[in-house]
Homo-oligomer: A and B are copies of this chain.
């Protein structure tokens, strides 16, 4: 037997993965990390009310989750002041981006993103055979004008923009993003990834217009709400686009515990406010540690601080490797010139203390 016959597309796909998980590294090292600051998870955890809701839902897990995600969608609709017909819930932004790319990008269809932006988006575009066009960042910011121009040039069906940005932590204000929405060429859709929005200053997100066919807003419970392992993302878009997700999504794909947890987390905005304060404090402390060691912390509207190590990618990779060998899990941007930096997530005092103690040693070792 020769075995199954893959599609031409599947056969041609590389076997790369977007990210290596920290557990994989721990298994390879034979040692767990002392500080887990590499995946922009929220070590402060979800709201205690979300934990209680998930504990309670654990007993109900014999039931499939509601395939309509009704209660969560209604709550999100109320929270954002939009009709629930404009809200789709899915398996994290990753899952929703996969469905979105599938809906729009047939093999060869042009898609635009920034060179060095979120690799999981690129993974999906490659996976469906879309043709990815990349524009450079403008310094440490994604470049809305360049994205819009490239989309017009290529006839792109889909444009990706993260605001705030990962991996650089930079952001545009709401007026700039609104200008980007207004610049979306006819027949294109802007996928506006606002995963980190809850950690950004007021005035970062333009007002959501649920009737605007040019943009889909992607949000998540993975970052500010501290529920990365529950896989709950959502998107707000024109109701026709939201309805189109029903054609392809895994209708019974949401975990019942996650639905319950997200609903409770959304209802505890007071806890989110505490996390926002705490993350702001951690960013300040990370910036202080960076400066103390001669690194330049970049301004951040996220739950991480990207630190310029002051040399090239090879040097930053050495610093990262030395941090990892000192049990601090961090990551770094993939491409130049951003790979002059390392990226460190907000942590508790004990996490930051680990980092503070490991960083000077790591820098010294990298320079040696």
Contacts and interface: CB of A to CB of B under 8 A. Distances in A.
A368 interface: no
A9 interface: yes
Contacts of A36: 63
Most chain B beta-carbon contacts within 10 A, residue among A68, A158, A188, A230 = A230
A10 B54 contact: no
B186 A2 contact: yes
A24 B256 contact: no
Contacts of A45: 59, 61-62
A1 interface: yes
A24 B246 CA distance: 15
A91 B188 CA distance: 31
A253 interface: yes
Nearest to A55: B55
Contacts of A64: 21, 39, 41, 222, 228-229
A276 to B, nearest CB: 15
A350 interface: no
A17 B91 CA distance: 17
A4 interface: yes
Interface stretch (A75-83, A98-106, A135-143, A287-295): A98-106
Given A7-B105, A63-B228, A1 B213 contact: yes
Contacts of A244: 6, 10
A65 interface: yes
Contact of A68 (B23, B54, B226): B23
Contact count band on A: 35 or more
A302 to B, nearest CB: 15
B229 A63 contact: yes
B103 A10 contact: yes
A133 interface: no
State the oligomeric state as a number of copies: 2
A18 B43 CA distance: 38
A145 B141 CA distance: 61
A240 B1 CA distance: 13
A218 B282 CA distance: 45
Nearest to A66: B23
Contacts of A186: 1-2
A41 B19 contact: no
A261 interface: yes
Given A15-B247, A17-B67, A257-B255, A4 B54 contact: no
A257 B21 CA distance: 17
Interface string A41-70: 111111000010011011111111111101
A95 B99 CA distance: 13
Contacts of A106: 7-9
A241 interface: yes
Contacts of A27: 70
A340 interface: no
5 contacts: A2-B187, A4-B189, A18-B251, A43-B62, A120-B252
Given A1-B212, A5-B157, 5 more contacts: A10-B104, A13-B247, A51-B61, A57-B229, A63-B228
